[in-house]
Structure formats: structure tokens, C-alpha cells
Amino acid sequence: MGWQSLKIQAGEETAEILSDALMDLGALSSSIEDADAQTEDEQPIFGEPGEPPPGMWQHNVVSALFDDTADIAAVMQALADSTGQRNLHYTVEVVEEQDWVRATQSQFDPIRIRDDLWIVPSWHVAPNPNALNIVLDPGLAFGTGSHPTTHLCLAWLADEIKAGESLLDYGCGSGILAIAGKRLGAGKVLGVDIDPQAMVASRYNADNNMASEVEFVLPNDMPVFEADVVVANILSSPLKLLAPALASHCRQGGRIVMSGVLAEQAEEVANCYAPWFDMNPPRFMENWSLLTGTKR
């Protein structure tokens, strides 16, 4: 058995309407994605801690999965009739049945950060058993170590974190940075993320890496915490808006470490933190940048 993947271009006013209507028309699943993802026009959807997100992306792709017997032309006609949205641009791809577990696992091999630090999926044998090996299941949260931004942050922690320093991982995703920081000798470590699934993935990964004392919380549950090191691997737009909040969580003389920033965005993001931090020259990897600074 196979499936059909229907993708429809939609604006911010119609994306949710189309997604809901497709479920009513028999879709097995439906999701809304940023049509500009992985481009300079990528538009993060986020809110300040404790506030609701501002809305939908301006340019969207509504993706719906149907079984292989569905008449997509009839679905599109019914969609137009039920929503009043006509002349929609769409594509259809056939998704063949396969062993999805093996297909997913094949995408992730052990990742070398340094000779003495590796990220190892749980189904692999560690290439260097004498190294610090962070065992990680990608799960449903961002952060496997494969992306240059995660790699940059991990390399900085391996080089710079000092024994006993407190660490805040803001936007912790899978918990990889918080866990690595703890295993590298950090003292109190706190991970924060707006996604409840990140809490599940982070706690699971922490337990599997002898780092169960690392605390993971949603923003509304975040305790008063002023860290020696604040690391945030998110995106440039939220980093700019979160500058006052992240600065408030870093002690005087503490350090901030940020990624998720394209090389051409580095100066603009660094300028947002300049009122609080003495910023260092950025580091780069595959057009992504790592920004660091010391709080005055």
C-alpha cells in the first residue's frame, strides 16, 4: 500500500481553512508548513515567553496525506466547493510504503564534534568508546547534532564551558546542548522550550545520558535563574526579540552563545545584544554563524 501526498500553496488567511477542510474530506493527516523555510525569507512563528504566537506564515504549504485510492481531482473540486477557494496551485506525489523506522534511522550516523566528543544515535555503536558520547534519539524535537548550528554550539561548549558553571539552554529542543553542557562539567543546568514535546524528548535523552539532574521546563514554569552561560540555538528573528530577556538571565561577566543565524544576519543580531554584551567576532560553518559575547 502507498499513499498520495497533496501539497497546496496557501496564504495566511486560508491555510488553516484548507487544512481543516482536507481533514473533513478524508485526509489521513494535514499540516501547515512555511513555504519560505530554509530561505532568507523564512518567517519564524513564535511569541515572547508566556504570550501567544502572532499568527500564520504569510506563505504556506498545506500538506495532506491520502491513501492511494483517493481521487485527488475530486478532492480538489470538493475543497473548492466547501471553502470557496478556487484555482489553487497544488502538486501530488506518490509515497511508497517502506520500513519507516529503518528509513529514518538511516539518516542519522554518529557525528564527530571533536575527537573526544561525539553524538551517537542509540542504534549505533560509538566510533570512539573512550570519547564523551552523547547518546541521542532524534525523537520529535529539534537537535540531533547534524545541523551546523547545533554543531557550532556543541563545539563552543566543549572548548569553553568551565567546571561548575551554570547553564541555561533556551530553546532546548531535544536537550542536546543542556545534556552536553552537563556532561562537560557544568553545574546547574536548565533547559527551556515552548514545545511540550521538547520536554518529553529532553527528559528522555537526559535520563539516557546520566544527566537526569538537568531540569527542563516550559517558559511559564521557568524559575528565577541567572546563568553563567546562556545558549540559544533558535532563529534570528526570535533571538532579536528575546535579547532583553536572554540578557536578564545572564549574570554580569557571564557569556551568551547563539546560533540559528545565517552569516548575513550575524551583524544585525549581534547589534541587538551589544547594549548588554561585548560581542566577539562570529564563527561560521556552512553559511551559519555562532555569536558569542560577555555581559558587562
**Over the stretch 165-178, which tens digit does the pLDDT of each residue have?**
999 999 998 899 99
**Residues sharing a CB contact under 8 Å with residue 223, sequence separation 6 or more, in sequence order:** 190, 217
Q: Determine what percent of the chain is predicted with pLDDT higher than 90.
A: 68
- The more confidently predicted of residues 108 and 194 is 194
Question: Averaged over 123-144, what is the pLDDT?
Answer: 76
Burial letters 50-73, b for 16+ CB under 10 A, else e: eeeeeebbebbbbbbbbeeebeee
Q: Which residues sit opposite 112 in a β-bridge?
A: 118
- Residue 221: pLDDT band by 50, 70, 90 thresholds? very high
* Calpha distance 273→275 (Å, rounded): 6
Q: Name the strand (E) or helix (H) holding 244.
A: helix 243-248
Q: Name the strand (E) or helix (H) holding 155.
A: helix 148-160
* Calpha distance 177→161 (Å, rounded): 11
pLDDT of amino acid 123: 78
pLDDT in tens, 225-281: 999 999 999 989 999 999 999 999 999 999 999 999 999 999 999 999 999 999 999
> Residue 153 has what DSSP assignment?
H
pLDDT of amino acid 83: 94
pLDDT of amino acid 143: 59
- Rg (C-alpha) for the chain, rounded Å, is 21
pLDDT at 105 over 80: no
Give yes or no for a contact between 254 and 279, defined as CB atoms under 8 angstroms apart. no
Q: Is 221 helix (H, G, I), strand (E, B) or coil?
A: helix
Domains of the chain: 3-97 (3.30.70.120), 148-295 (3.40.50.150)
What is the overall mean pLDDT for the chain? 88
- Residue 120: pLDDT band by 50, 70, 90 thresholds? confident
pLDDT at 101 over 50: yes
Question: Averaged over 80-85, what is the pLDDT?
Answer: 94
pLDDT at 104 over 60: no
Would residue 235 be called left, alpha or beta, if left means φ above 0 and alpha means ψ between -120 and 50 degrees? beta
**φ, ψ (nearest 5 deg) of residue 115:** -55, -30
Question: Averaged over 22-42, what is the pLDDT?
Answer: 85
